[in-house]
Structures are given as structure tokens and as C-alpha cells.
Structure 1
Amino acid sequence: MNEFPESDKIIEIDLPRVAKNSLTITVAAALFLWALKIFIERDFLFSLGLWTIVLFVSGYILLIILHELFHLLGFRVFGGVPWKKMVVGVNLKMGIAYATTDQLMTNHAIRKALLLPFWMTGILPAVIGLSVGSGLLVSLSALLIGGAAGDFAMYKELRKLPDDWFVRDDPELPKLYVYSPDKINGLG
């Protein structure tokens, strides 16, 4: 881990604050999407049964897994990170799922990788749910939109920095190490 120089900046995510933002975003997304669903269908129908609960829990777990896999796909497609240099898992102590790599990526690339899951597991299911009239899918998408709060927080901080700066993810903590191109180019 000491193969990298001292970072120019460290971006740390405050997990309690992110959790609060996640709840706020989830509630706002749910209210907005359900209002949109009611407006589109001109009707409100809500039913809750055992199979709905089973599908909801299964769908939520599946979408969380897909969220992390889309981060990995973003690392590969946008950052050129080899598959063998990526890790996905769950930190039960912190209550988070994660996807990470110890490889450097440009700021531009990691920002794309951060938002890819939001689009694919939040927005896309919302569009599909609204198109087919699925309250289940609309509800799940609201949870995944809110679940991207940590990604939004990192993205917001990274957006303040130049695209060509380099970023390395911390393998254990919600923390990013940011390096100027001069520091990284000086390594080679």
C-alpha cells in the first residue's frame, strides 16, 4: 500500500450523515415516483401479500448486488481496471455493501463508475416500473436511488477537482485518496 505517494487530498464520507441523506432521498424519490405512477395510471392501487413481500425482499437484495457489480463494471469500462484487481463484499460492522479496487483511476473515470449503479439500479427500474405499472419496481427503485447517497457524496467532492487527477479507493473505509497528475507521473 506504500507504493503510492502521499495523497494531495483525502475525501472521507461521514456515514451517519450519508445515512440521513439516504433516508431523505429515498422518501423524496418514493413520494415523487408514486405520485408520478398515480398521475400516469389515474388510479391508486396498493396490495400487500406474502408474495409481494418475498418479491420485494428478493428484489432489494438482487438490486443491491447489481448496484455493486455495476460499480465493478464502471471500474473496468471507464477506468480500465483489470477484473482481478477488484473486490466486492459486505461490511456488516458498517452496514454497507462495497465494491473497490486498489488501482488508480482518473477522477473523470471514477465519477462515471460512481454514478453508473444509480442509473442502472435506480433510474432504469423506475422507468420500467412506471412503464408497466409496477408499484413493486417503483418502490424498489426509490430505495436504490436513496441507496446511492454515498456515491453522490463522493461524486460531489470529486467534482471539485480536475478530471485528470488520480483517485484511489480505500479498501476498507469509505475514503478516497486523490493525487495530482504530477505526483503520479513522477512515479513512472
Structure 2
Amino acid sequence: MRNSSEPIDTIELDLPKMAWQNLFWTIFLMITFFLVNGFVHHHFTFHITFLSCLLFIVIYIVLIILHEICHLLGFILFGKVPLSSLKYGVNFKMGVAYATTTKLLSVKAMKRALLLPFWLTGVIPAAIGFMVNSNLWLFLGAWLIAGAIGDFMMYTQLQKYPENYLVKDDPHYPKLYIYINEELD
């Protein structure tokens, strides 16, 4: 795909704002899921044990890793990028895991890749929690759904661009560069 050499716009996340929104949504979803689950199953129970805390931490870390792998999978499935273009890791300075591609994606493909982890690592654990009446899985789902707030913020900002425009993911920061796809314009 041919594109102009300079981006027409940049989408950059406001990390402090995102952190506050993440905290709000995590607490809100945990309380909401707990209450809805209690009404659905006709009883409210809440037990914290060392084992449940340990399980939460271990499964949460695994789900964060899977969240980023889902982005990579989205880049491949929706953006048709080669495996060699994918990068994955943890930015310890910023305290975030990341997944990126060195290739340009269409806005349409990027939006799909941004939301794939929400469904697979957020909604599915929450649904499991409701089905088996497990606060552990409900809370994991709440944390991972709220953890996708940055993905939703980027998705929302991408809505204003035509789906055929191109997106370059910044390899170091939560930032997207938007380009006009000159082949299609």
C-alpha cells in the first residue's frame, strides 16, 4: 500500500486520564457484576482467601499476556501482516504490556485488532463467572474489561477516519499515526 510519508494526525493516549478511568471502571464493574450475580443466583457471598488472591494474581497475569497476544492475532487476522512484523513486550517505565506491528494497517483492521482482546480476555471470563457463580472470574472479567479502556479510547478516536485510511502503531508509546491511503483516495 502506498501512503503519504507524513501522518495527517496522531492519536495519543492521556495516560493519567486513562488510569483514572481504568480505576473507576474496575470498581464500578466489580460492584455491578457482584450485585447482578447475587441477584441471578439468589445469594451474595464474598470470601477472600490467600489461595483466591494468589489465583487472581496468576490468572490476571496470564490474561494480560493473552490480551496482548489477542492484539497480535488481530493484526494477523484483520491486517494480514506477516509474523516478522510483530513485536511484544513490557514497558517497565510506563508499567504496561504492549503488542505492536511495524506494518501499516487500515483503520478498519486496527479497530478490530483493538477490540479483540476485550471480547476474549474480558467478556468471556466475566461470562464464565456468571455461569459458574464465581466472584474470582467475575472480578477477573471486570479488571480485563476495564483494562481495555485504552483500546476503547483509541477505537473511539479512530471512528472519525475513513476505514481505508492507514494506521501506524508507535512501537514505544500508546500512540497511533494516521495516514491517507493514496491508492484508494
TM-score for the superposition, normalised by structure 1: 0.94
* Partners of 2:105 and 2:167 within 8 A in 1: yes
* Partners of 2:125 and 2:138 within 8 A in 1: yes
* Partners of 2:88 and 2:100 within 8 A in 1: yes
Name the amino acid aligned to 1:135: N
For residue 160 of structure 1, report the CA deviation from its aligned partner: 1.1
Per-residue deviation, residues 4-42 of structure 1 (Å, max 9, x unmatched): 711011111111111111111111211221111111111
Per-residue deviation, residues 134-186 of structure 1 (Å, max 9, x unmatched): 1100001100011001101100100111111000100001110101112xx39
Name the amino acid aligned to 1:26: T
* Partners of 2:126 and 2:141 within 8 A in 1: yes
Name the amino acid aligned to 2:14: D
- The correspondence of residues 167-182 of structure 1 with structure 2, limited to 5 A, is 167-182=167-182
| Paired position in structure 2 for 1:24 | 24
| Paired position in structure 1 for 2:14 | 14
Does 23-32 or 9-18 show the bigger shift? 23-32
- Does 1:111 find its partner at 2:102? no
| Paired position in structure 1 for 2:145 | 145
* Partners of 2:4 and 2:180 within 8 A in 1: no
Name the amino acid aligned to 2:6: E
- The correspondence of residues 88-107 of structure 1 with structure 2, limited to 5 A, is 88-107=88-107
For residue 51 of structure 1, report the CA deviation from its aligned partner: 1.0
- The correspondence of residues 148-167 of structure 1 with structure 2, limited to 5 A, is 148-167=148-167
Query: Over aligned residue pairs, what C-alpha RMSD do you find?
Result: 1.3
Structure 1 residues 54 and 4, CA gap change in structure 2 (3 angstroms):
farther
Q: 1:65 & 1:72 partners in 2: Cα distance?
A: 11
Q: Which runs of 4+ in 1 moved over 6 A?
A: none
SS in structure 1 at match of 2:55: helix
Per-residue deviation, residues 99-144 of structure 1 (Å, max 9, x unmatched): 0011000000000000000011111111111001111000011000
Q: 1:94 & 1:60 partners in 2: Cα distance?
A: 18
Q: 1:155 & 1:25 partners in 2: Cα distance?
A: 17
Name the amino acid aligned to 1:116: L
TM-score for the superposition, normalised by structure 2: 0.95
Q: 2:14 & 2:139 partners in 1: Cα distance?
A: 26
- The percent identity for this pair of structures is 46
Name the amino acid aligned to 1:142: A
SS in structure 1 at match of 2:48: coil
Q: 1:36 & 1:23 partners in 2: Cα distance?
A: 20
SS in structure 2 at match of 1:181: coil
Q: 1:121 & 1:36 partners in 2: Cα distance?
A: 20
Q: 2:18 & 2:122 partners in 1: Cα distance?
A: 17
